[in-house]
Amino acid sequence: MKLVIINGRVIDPSQNLDGNCTVFVENGVIRDVAKAKRSTNGYEIIDAKGAIVSPGFIDVHTHLREPGFEYREDIASGSKAAVAGGFTTIFCMANTNPVNDNASVTQMIVKKAEEVGLLNIFPVGAVSKGLKGVELAEIGEMVKSGCVAISDDGKPVMSGRLMRHALEYAKTFKIPVVVHEEDLSLAEGGCMNEGRISTELGLKGSPAAAEETMIQRDILLSKLVGHHVHFQHVTTATGIDMIRQAKKQGIPVTCEVTPHHLVLNDEACRGYNTNAKVNPPLRTTKDCQALIKALNDGTVDCLATDHAPHAHDEKNVGMDEANAGLLGMETALPVLLKLVHNKQVSLKRLIYLLTVGPAKIFKLKTGSLKKGWPADMTIFDPNLSNTIDAEKFYSKSRNTPFHGWKLKGKVLHTICGGKVVYA
């Protein structure tokens, strides 16, 4: 099969490429990205006039909820939501039921993902059996079956000793340990960021320090073991600065931030809005600004959505009882482009953080339009006006704080392995 994308502005940070190019695809791989005019005879043509052509987006942090919570999302619906958001590669976290802590669950996820066949789905295995934080899961077996990393995401590894052993063990299999940082004793009972707004709403807060103390611990453990820790959804100014300092010292750490922690703060919880209840919580304007600065100075390695679907009944309750989490994949691009339109980050840097950035961390062969690489691509119009409508989501759930937001930017085509998977 031959496909050609013409008239688009191709931005591929992996090759420092930005210009009007024609992208030739053959047999699922990039054959050429050409500036000069060349014959497109025999190719199926996609006209990307006025649009950006970038390597396919990568989301290293999603919850597909299968097995166990298919009423919220499943691999099929999550796949559709992903490609509609422009993603061609996603990671799914282990907090399913049963937990992805052994090879059989990993294999089941891999098999289902292949059956759906829309995009690349890589499972992330659990660090500990049952996410209980007591014994290591069968990490080697899971890696052999297709896991690309391990994480107890949703839960921190509270035991420093177990975290140390996880790092040592993961080093053998050359996969990073991915961490959700939260000191549970400090965060206990908190359903939003602790601060002015939580006091005003009379809600228990979780302090920034609950996240920061754990980031600091794991920086020290990463240094001790000499192995890669990847910090998920960093939210605080102090936390991101700790990571900046650790990187300067050559400690092997990387991190991601989410679109919602960049554009929303704890004010979003007003009115007891459970769609703004997320873990870690939305912080303050000052934290958002620090995260944006870190996007630009290289401290942040990639963006990730933490796509966390929940059913209506799980959100239509009080803040204390509501499940934490919001949908991310279908809103990520327009929400992030807000930063570009506000001149807080460049388009090129944004694309870097969605493509080559995550690919580098996890050593993936995607995120680039280099010759011979898989033809994973996202074509989007950064200026197209777009009102977020949760009712139109491909996801099974509707829990988004962005419903009704008027934003600019829309995915037009998603191409994975040379196949158009969303248009």
What are the residue numbers of the active site? Answer: 306
Residue whose C-alpha is closest to residue 118's, from 80, 86, 64: 80
The interface region with another protein, picked from 45-53, 63-71, 217-225, 311-319 by CB under 8 A, is: 311-319
DSSP state of 396: S
Binding residue count for another protein, defined by CB under 8 A:
22
Do residues 231 and 256 touch, judged by C-beta distance below 8 A? yes
Which of the stretches 61-69, 188-196, 328-336, 338-346 binds another protein when contact is defined by CB under 8 A? 188-196
Exposed (0-12), middle (13-18) or buried (19+): which is 313, by Cβ within 10 Å?
Answer: exposed
- Minimum distance between the CB of residue 313 and another protein, rounded to whole angstroms? 6
* CA distance to 105, 133, 136, 137, 151, per residue, from 129 (Å): 12, 7, 6, 5, 11
Min. distance of Cβ 206 from another protein in angstroms? 11
- Of 35 and 196, which CB lies nearer to another protein in the complex structure? 196
> How far is C-alpha 390 from the geometric centre of its chain's CA atoms?
19
Please name the amino acid found at residue 47: D
Least distance in angstroms from the C-beta of 16 to another protein: 46
Shortest Å, Cβ 272 to another protein = 4
Q: x/- site string to another protein, residues 318 to 337, per CB under 8 A?
A: xxxx----------------
**Can you tell me which residue has the tokens 């005003």?**
200
76 vs 203, beta carbon nearer another protein: 203
CB of 190 to another protein, least distance (A): 11
| CA gap 335, 340 in Å, rounded | 10
Q: How many residues does the chain have?
A: 423
Q: Where are the beta strands (DSSP E) in 215-366?
A: 229-231, 253-257, 302-303
- The answer to the question of residue 202 lying near another protein (CB under 8 A) is yes
Say if CB 157 and CB 127 are below 8 A apart.
yes
User: Do the beta carbons of residue 281 and residue 235 sit within 8 Å?
Assistant: yes
Question: Structure tokens of 285?
Answer: 């304007």
* 204 touches another protein by CB under 8 A: yes
Question: Measured between alpha carbons, how far is 21 from 33 in angstroms, rounded to an integer?
Answer: 6
Q: Using CB under 8 A, which of 68, 130, 195, 252 touches another protein?
A: 195
From 205, 239, 358, 374, residue interacting with another protein (rule: CB under 8 A)? 205
C-beta closer to another protein: residue 131 or 322: 322
CB-nearer residue toward another protein: 38 or 270: 270
From CA 6, how far away is CA 4, in angstroms rounded?
6
Site for another protein in 249-288 (CB under 8 A): 271-272
Residue 114 or 321: the one with the smaller Cβ distance to another protein is 321
Neighbour count for residue 318 (Cβ, 10 Å): 11
Q: How far apart are CA 263 and CA 124, in angstroms?
A: 27
- In this chain, which of 97, 199, 385, 387 binds another protein, going by CB under 8 A? 199
Binding segment for another protein (CB under 8 A), chosen from 25-33, 312-320, 346-354, 404-412, is 312-320
Q: How far is the CB of 197 from another protein (least distance, A)?
A: 8
Q: Is 181 in the site for another protein (CB under 8 A)?
A: no
Residues that bind another protein (CB under 8 A): 194-205, 207, 271-272, 313, 316-321
